[in-house]
Amino acid sequence: MIENIKPGDIEKRSFEIIGEILGERRLAPENELVIKRVIHTTADFDYVDNLVFSPGAVAKGIEALRGGCDIVTDTQMARAGINKGILGRLGGEVHCFMSDPDVAAEAKERGVTRAFVSMEHAAALEKPCIFAIGNAPTALVSLHRLMEAGRLTPALIIGVPVGFVNVVESKELILGDPVPYIVARGRKGGSNVAAAICNAMLYQILR
């Protein structure tokens, strides 16, 4: 039977259904809203187990956002999905360098992906940044190398690229780095997941 739900109540009802399906499963309170937001976005309950959080990752992300940090993404789709209204009110903005002509030219010349070069360009930003990676494992590889070289200290890395080639391996690199992270272990993820995680933190600040 089709439920008669007012448009403004659809999200609330969706979260009620998520809670009903989770049943007795208890989530860590600090991570609960992030996990449920990702489930709401994907209808995939595997994220209850797939999402891995470094200690205090969500709190550190929220603190950085409150402080006006920027967000760097590896796709225009993730950039579009992040609530830029709230982020702007906090003093931040979203960057995606993937479509920049100079990034494309440099990537072609060096024989690497645009995502790899994009992260190097992002390292030049003067503000603290959260990196929300939902598509390109090479973005995570680039971030790992930049951190090893002492060129970058992310406020938080959201590592949720989706796919098959180097996806699992790139995520494992981040899990071994001394940086706050939220990582979707395995092959699942996506730009929508990266945006959902950002929004889950933003909504805990302003709504």
Answer yes or no: is pLDDT of 6 > 90.
Answer: no
Q: What is the pLDDT of residue 2?
A: 80
**Structure tokens belonging to residue 37:** 């937001």
pLDDT at 1: 82
pLDDT at 33: 97
207 pLDDT higher than 80:
no
Which residues, listed in sequence order, are joined to residue 95 by a DSSP beta bridge? 72
- Any idea what DSSP says for residue 95? E
What pLDDT, in 10s, does the model give residues 63-77?
999 999 999 999 999
Cα dihedral: 58, 62, 68, 72 (round 10): 30
What is the phi-psi region of residue 184: left when phi exceeds 0, alpha when psi lies from -120 to 50, beta otherwise? Answer: beta
169 found inside a domain: yes
Q: Is residue 161 part of a domain?
A: yes
Would 24 be classed as within a structural domain?
A: no
Number of domains in the chain: 1
User: Is 75:96 a contact under the CB 8 Å cutoff?
Assistant: yes
- Which residues are catalytic, by number? 40
* Residue 190 forms part of a structural domain: yes
Q: Which two tokens stand for residue 191?
A: 């730009």
Q: Given strand 156-159, what is the order of strands in its sheet?
A: 51-53, 181-184, 156-159, 129-133, 70-73, 94-95
Q: What is the predicted pLDDT for the residue at 108?
A: 96
Q: Is residue 196 part of a domain?
A: yes
Question: Is residue 72 domain-resident?
Answer: yes
Percent of the chain at pLDDT > 70 equals: 100
Provide the pLDDT confidence category of residue 4 given band limits of 50, 70 and 90: confident
In a domain, 58, yes or no: yes
Q: Is residue 153 included in any domain, yes or no? A: yes
pLDDT tens string 142-198: 999 999 999 999 999 999 999 999 999 999 999 999 999 999 999 999 999 999 999
pLDDT band at 206 (very low <50, low <70, confident <90, very high): confident
Structural domain that includes position 67: 48-203
CATH of the domain at 149: 3.40.50.10230
pLDDT of residue 136: 97
pLDDT of residue 9: 86
Q: What is the pLDDT of residues 85-137, one digit of tens each?
A: 999 999 999 999 999 999 999 999 999 999 999 999 999 999 999 999 999 99
